[in-house]
Amino acid sequence: MAEQRPQLPSDLKREVRQRCGFGCVICGRPIYEYDHILGWAKVKRHLASEITLLCDNHHREKTAGFLPDEIVIKANQGPFNVQHGMTALHTLHYSGDQFLFKVGGIEFGGVVSCDAIRVDGEPILSARLEDGHFLLSLKVYDSSDDLILLIKDNELLLNARLWDIEVVGSRITLREGQGAVLFDVLFQPPSSLIVMRGRFLRKGAELLVARKYCVLLNNCLRLNMAIKNCSVGIDLGNGLPPSKGVCAVHIDGFPRYGWDREGAIRWVRSQVASLPQVTTAVDDLLNAGSLS
């Protein structure tokens, strides 16, 4: 009977991700697999220092014997993403004739082009149809207003200096610290994307995305709706308002800095106090970064 290999502990995997810069140590691709550098059959143990990240292509090459251990060991000592500060570009595959966004309890659908979320006229989450292919764009900023995840026309780029980036299947979770989820997104090619939870942060605006609703924390405004046939979904700030009839929600005049965030947090927690699992998930968001 073959020996059962124990699962990699989650804290060990996080240590490996952080050391390797959240991508293949050779090429930097952010879609990766965990690899025992010397082979599990030889070492039969899980030590973070003996495990690295490889993309599926380099992992297959190593397993088949086309990629020598010596090359992997050298790359592990100076990972591609650690040297560059960003992951290598990864192309997402989207197509079809309609795109569907799910953000908290809000659905954006039924259109060929849509800015689902904008701040001061800047598209934060959008998709457009061009030559029979959907081009997805997404910007995720951290608490310091630094760009940490960028998707521009289906090209995914991640900031390798974030505290943790976890990729499981087609789901990417960004964390600013222990128990501090910043963004959690599920990609569903060919024509949909789900923001499971997160915080859209930009220029002092903070849109909290929970499981079934969104809240503009700046003024404790809760949003829960279905949006269809609109070229703009949620438009925040003082950019040029979209033409009447094409924008679902336009919100301006909310405080940007110095507003009572602690009061807003207490209000959000009071809304979900009777739902323990939801409360824990919301706490993971509200504890992010220096805003705990």
Same domain, 242 and 274: yes
Same domain, 167 and 261: yes
Same domain, 133 and 44: no
- Boundary-marking domain end, from 49, 84, 119: 84
Share of the chain above pLDDT 70, in %: 88
Is the CA virtual torsion 170, 50, 76, 13 positive or negative?
A: positive
- Boundary-marking domain end, from 40, 68, 84: 84
Same domain, 275 and 201: yes
Q: What is the pLDDT of residues 169-219, one digit of tens each?
A: 999 999 988 888 999 999 998 888 999 999 999 999 999 998 888 999 999
Q: Is residue 193 part of a domain?
A: yes
**Paired tokens of 268:** 């959000």
Q: What is the pLDDT of residues 2-51, one digit of tens each?
A: 567 889 999 999 999 999 999 999 999 999 999 999 988 888 899 999 99
What 3-state DSSP class applies to 238?
coil
Q: What is the pLDDT of residues 246-266, one digit of tens each?
A: 788 889 999 998 899 889 988
Asked if residue 225 lies in contact with residue 292, where contact means CB atoms within 8 angstroms, the answer is: no
Same domain, 180 and 251: yes
Q: Is residue 2 part of a domain?
A: no
- Rg of the chain on CA atoms, in Å: 21
Q: Provide the number of structural domains found in the chain.
A: 2
| Confidence check: pLDDT of 84 > 90 | yes
- What's residue 5's pLDDT? 82
- What's residue 270's pLDDT? 84
Q: Is residue 195 part of a domain?
A: yes
Range of the domain at 68: 10-84
Q: Is residue 238 part of a domain?
A: yes
Q: Is residue 1 part of a domain?
A: no
Nearest CA-CA partner of 81 in 4, 134, 18, 148: 18
Distance CA 99, CA 120 (A): 23
Asked if residue 209 lies in contact with residue 124, where contact means CB atoms within 8 angstroms, the answer is: no
Same domain, 169 and 183: yes
Report in angstroms the alpha-carbon separations of 233 from 7, 182, 227, 283: 42, 22, 7, 26
pTM for the model stands at: 0.85
Q: Is residue 178 part of a domain?
A: yes
